[in-house]
Amino acid sequence: MKKDDYDNQTFDNLVNSFMRPLWALGIGWLILSCAEGYGGPINWFLSLRMWKLPSRLSYAIYLLHLPLQYVITEAASQHTYFSVMNFIYIFLCESVIIFVVSFVIAILVDSPCSVIFNVFLKGGIKKSYSKQQRGDKTNVKTPIPTIQVTEEPVIDTNKGTS
């Protein structure tokens, strides 16, 4: 609500000056605390596997939305006249096109590249093991371990000292 008698220009200037830096500082603190192991439930929630695809899609959308908007706008064969329904239509069409292209790029480019980076950075392709080598307990009979006692000669290290 707009109050006609409100006139606190100093407070408004401080809020407008420090709002974005404080937001960035808060996000930076959250990232640092999660990276150092102090994130707690926030780190657990943000590390769930369900965020993997949306994060890749949002990054692809971030990278591709502006070039695709330029291509769509410059490919127009006639002038666009302003009307609310026309711009809602343009917004929805561009959003769907950008989402589909970003999804295709995320699947065809980002996923294979992340697999390649993991192979190179983590020491090669991991070998699959049989059930017995993995330690699966299903249908694998393990022998009862036995202890063998052997006598080793005792070496006296105090020889020659008085």
The candidate with the shortest Cα–Cα distance to 94, out of 77, 113, 118, 70, is 70
Q: Where are the domains of the chain?
A: 10-47, 49-125
Residue type (1 letter), 76: A
* pLDDT digit string, tens, across residues 52-85: 889 889 999 999 999 999 998 889 888 888 899 9
pLDDT for position 154: 60
At 4, list the tokens: 């006609």
Is pLDDT larger for residue 2 or for residue 136?
2
Q: Given a cut of 70, is residue 135 above it in pLDDT?
A: no
What average pLDDT does the segment 129-145 reach? Answer: 57
pTM assigned to the model: 0.56
At 68, list the tokens: 């695709």
DSSP 46: H
d(CA 113, CA 107): 10
d(CA 69, CA 95): 9
Half-sphere exposure at residue 13, Cβ-oriented, CA atoms within 13 angstroms: 4
d(CA 100, CA 2): 42
* pLDDT digit string, tens, across residues 2-45: 666 777 888 888 999 999 999 999 999 999 999 999 989 999 99
Longest CA–CA separation in the chain, Å: 107
∠ CA 97-48-29, nearest 5°, is 95
What average pLDDT does the segment 130-141 reach? Answer: 56
* pLDDT digit string, tens, across residues 80-129: 888 999 999 999 999 999 999 999 999 999 888 888 888 888 876 666 65
